[in-house]
Structure 1
């Protein structure tokens, strides 16, 4: 009984390996084409992430600078109201500009909807 089981497993293994090797040239070309397409997609995603990283860093820097100026302006309102008010408005505008740059960076990351195909 044990020998029959081992023989059956070996026959199934042999049949499976011969069937797996019977890919047609067309199927192999199709697989190669899919791999090439996936590589191109990955490269495109890496380029988008690299570009978005630069934009996000710039946006973070500008927004932080703007909101820092706003905080300094708020601190100066008690001692120098004119300068404090000017810094509040200027810092707020710079901060909003930095936030817009951040939003643009996130838009660079977003991908288009995938095409559902075959």
Structure 2
């Protein structure tokens, strides 16, 4: 089956565990993100139409909070719409170029170092 011909419908992600011992690196398509997860020896497939911003909005719809009050932290192309819908977006060290272009803050250190430095913990 060609991944480009697959209809995702309401599928948000698929994990493929190949029979081979090594993950085969495959190119990205316009309509899906293919993310190798070497620790689990699998490939994560996410439709490009999957939107974390829409999912997060649905998760908080019955609360007093809204997306324009949220700070998003991410590292990949699949976080772009979330960054665009939230008040602020922080791209972590090693983020995709596409995400860094829309981020309000681009970390040049690890997220844990950033959080420890600005939280006052450990002072």
Q: TM-score, normalised by structure 1?
A: 0.22
Q: Which has the higher strand share?
A: 2
Larger Rg: 1
Q: Which has the higher helix share?
A: 1
Q: TM-score, normalised by structure 2?
A: 0.22
